[in-house]
């Protein structure tokens, strides 16, 4: 009998929890780094392309970028909670 078929699939964590405090640390795998650098490039591109023309559109764009970041962090990161350095 195959016991692995009945075990829940472990999800791959892209962003580990911080050791102290609440939140996530830097990415721990290449997928996390690709997402983070792409997200950062999109944020900077919006700064150069949108902000000089439309401040309100830039603020909305920034808000959407932050929402996308948090959605990915919640989906691909460890469960957020307060940590005090111990396991």
d(C-alpha 67, C-alpha 52), whole Å: 22
pLDDT of residue 30: 96
CA of residue 4 relative to chain centroid, distance: 29
pLDDT of residue 60: 94
pLDDT of residue 87: 60
**What is the torsional sign of CA 28, 30, 32, 33?**
positive
10-residue averages of pLDDT along the chain (87 residues): 52 89 93 97 92 88 96 94 77
List, as own/partner pairs, every contact residues 62-68 make where C-beta atoms lie below 8 angstroms and the sequence separation is at least 24, other chains included. Answer: 65/39, 68/39
């Amino acid at each position: 009998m195959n016991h692995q078929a009945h075990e829940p699939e472990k999800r791959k964590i892209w962003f580990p929890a911080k050791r102290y405090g609440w939140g996530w640390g830097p990415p721990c795998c290449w997928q996390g780094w690709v997402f983070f650098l792409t997200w950062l490039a999109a944020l900077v591109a919006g700064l150069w392309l949108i902000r000089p023309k439309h401040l309100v559109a830039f603020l909305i764009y920034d808000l959407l970028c932050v929402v996308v970041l948090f959605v990915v962090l919640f989906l691909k990161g460890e469960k957020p909670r307060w940590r005090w350095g111990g396991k």
